[in-house]
Amino acid sequence: MPKVDELDKWRRTHYSSDIAPNLDGKKVTVFGRVTSIREQGEITFIIVQDKCGILQITVKKSKAPKKVLDRIKDLNEHSILGVRGILKSIDKAPHGAEVIPSEIKVLDFVRKSLPFNPYKRELPSLDKRLDVRALDLRRPKAQAIFRIRNAILWSIRKFLIKKGYLEVNTPKIIASATEGGATLFPLLYYNREAFLAQSPQLYKEQLASCFEKVFEIAPIFRAEQFDTLKHLSEAISVDVEEAFVNYEDSMKLLEQLVCNSIEFVNKECKEDLDILKHKIKKSETPFKQFTYDETINILKSEGLDIEWGEDLSTISLKTYSEKISGFYFIKDWPTSLKAFYINPKKGKPEICESFDLMHGSLELSSGGTRVNTRKILETQLEMKDLDPEQFEYHLKTFDYGMPPHSGFGLGLDRLILVFTGLENIREVVLFPRDPTRLTP
Site residues for ligand AMO per CB under 6 A: 179, 199, 201, 222, 224, 231-232, 235, 237, 239, 363-368, 407-409, 411, 413-414
* Shortest distance in whole angstroms from residue 184 CB to ligand AMO: 13
Residue 407 CA to residue 415 CA, distance in Å, equals 17
Strand, coil or helix: what is 56? strand
Residue 365 CA to residue 109 CA, distance in Å, equals 45
The phi-psi region of residue 259 (left if phi > 0; otherwise alpha if psi is between -120 and 50; otherwise beta) is alpha
Residue 369 CA to residue 346 CA, distance in Å, equals 12
Residue 46 CA to residue 29 CA, distance in Å, equals 15
Let me know: does 218 contact 204? Beta carbons within 8 Å.
Answer: no
Residue 426 CA to residue 421 CA, distance in Å, equals 13
Residue 397 CA to residue 401 CA, distance in Å, equals 7
What phi and psi values does residue 119 have, to the nearest 5 degrees?
-95, 0
Let me know: does 282 contact 264? Beta carbons within 8 Å.
Answer: no
Strand, coil or helix: what is 82? strand
The phi-psi region of residue 347 (left if phi > 0; otherwise alpha if psi is between -120 and 50; otherwise beta) is left
Three-class HEC string of 316-349:
HHHHHHHHCCCEEEEECCEHHHCCCCECEECCEE
Query: How many helices (H) does the chain have, and how many strands (E)?
Result: 12, 18
* DSSP one-letter code for 208: H
HSE-CB of 347 using CA atoms within 13 angstroms? 0
Residue 85 CA to residue 68 CA, distance in Å, equals 11
Residue 259 CA to residue 438 CA, distance in Å, equals 34
Let me know: does 213 contact 166? Beta carbons within 8 Å.
Answer: yes
Let me know: does 425 contact 231? Beta carbons within 8 Å.
Answer: yes
